[in-house]
């Protein structure tokens, strides 16, 4: 977070929720080791991983609190709280959908992360098992489902075959949104991943249309929760444009996004989508 960054209370709340989740995970590791479910090597690897992540989240919380102005805070663009930039995922996935083809560099996933980047960290299978165990033990914790959904997106490869986004990621985002209906990130990504899933399904047109409508309901909830959260605004514009074939409805969302992120890395791409929507018939 840079000194010029505006304070975002929703991002701070999400950070604090993730902090609590990670600290509880560290404590639960002791119980798992004592119960014989973890050997010493795996225990240390997972503890080091969770500790490093918790430390990063704590630093982000401190930076967010320092950015808080004395007056009412003004929300700003939020970041995905695990590795990888959320905006890269937003733009690359959206433009891939719009063009029906992706332009990812070799060895790069949809999120922009290099494959195999975690070879020196805790194995993906161990991290997945630990996150699944947390969800089983705390099924009503929205932070657990949200962290699990992010993990599944970041560790999946759209080019590896099979369904993408991973169905379990879609379910986890939907569950997080159900448990925390005012969370803009949970709702935004529940709607977006659900919509992307419809593009790869073989469902009949009626079912696909119903799923697109469900995705739009989630995106409306995301914008209602925080209309300054760029991801939700942009996703809704894309679903209106590509899912509902309603460019007129997409225009305000693309315009709003460009206001929220006036100097973003992907400004030109979003501006191009806005121009397409403006030039569309009707």
Q: Can you give the CATH number for the domain in which 240 is found?
A: 1.25.40.10
> Which pLDDT belongs to residue 39?
79
Round the average pLDDT of the chain to a whole number and report it: 75
Identify the CATH number of the domain in which residue 19 sits. Answer: 1.20.58
**79-137 pLDDT tens trace:** 332 223 344 455 555 655 444 323 333 333 332 333 333 434 678 888 899 899 989 99
Residue ranges of the chain with per-residue pLDDT less than 70: 1-12, 23, 27, 64-121, 159-162, 282
Percentage of the chain lying above the pLDDT 70 cut? 72
106 and 223 together in one domain: yes
Does one domain contain both 162 and 255?
yes
φ/ψ of 202, rounded to 5, equals: -110, 25
Indicate the number of domains in the chain: 2
* Phi and psi at residue 114, to the nearest 5°: -70, 135
Looking at residue 139, what is its pLDDT? 93
**Which ranges in the chain belong to alpha helices (H)?**
9-34, 40-67, 86-99, 124-137, 142-154, 167-179, 184-199, 205-225, 230-238, 247-260, 267-279
Q: Which domain holds residue 177?
A: 86-279
* Token output for 169: 């990621």
Note the pLDDT tens digit of each residue in 255-267.
Answer: 999 999 888 777 8
C-beta of residue 169 within 8 angstroms of C-beta of residue 153: yes
pTM of the shown model: 0.66
State whether 195 and 145 are in the same domain.
yes
Any domain includes 81: no
């Amino acid at each position: 977070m840079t000194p010029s960054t505006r304070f975002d209370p929703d991002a701070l709340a999400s950070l604090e929720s993730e902090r609590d989740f990670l600290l509880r995970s560290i404590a639960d590791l002791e119980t798992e080791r004592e119960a014989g479910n973890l050997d010493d090597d795996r225990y240390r690897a997972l503890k080091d991983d969770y500790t490093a992540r918790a430390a990063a989240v704590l630093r982000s919380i401190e930076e967010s609190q320092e950015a808080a102005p004395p007056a009412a805070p003004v929300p700003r663009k939020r970041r995905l709280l695990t590795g990888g930039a959320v905006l890269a995922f937003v733009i690359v996935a959206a433009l891939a959908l719009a063009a029906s083809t992706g332009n990812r560099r070799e060895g790069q996933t949809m999120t922009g992360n290099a494959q195999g980047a975690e070879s020196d960290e805790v194995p993906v299978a161990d991290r997945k098992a630990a996150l699944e165990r947390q969800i089983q033990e705390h099924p009503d914790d929205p932070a657990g489902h949200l962290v699990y959904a992010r993990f599944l997106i970041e560790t999946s490869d759209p080019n590896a075959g099979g369904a993408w986004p991973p169905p379990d990621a879609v379910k986890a985002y939907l569950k997080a949104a159900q448990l925390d209906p005012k969370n803009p990130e949970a709702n935004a990504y529940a709607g977006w991943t659900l919509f992307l899933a419809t593009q790869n399904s073989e469902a009949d047109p009626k079912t696909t249309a119903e799923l697109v409508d469900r995705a739009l309901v989630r995106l409306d909830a995301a914008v209602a929760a925080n209309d300054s959260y760029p991801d939700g605004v942009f996703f809704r514009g894309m679903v209106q444009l590509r899912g509902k074939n309603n460019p007129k409805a997409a225009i305000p969302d693309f315009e709003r996004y460009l206001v929220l992120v006036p100097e973003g890395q992907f400004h030109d791409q979003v501006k191009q989508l806005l121009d397409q929507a403006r030039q569309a018939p009707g």
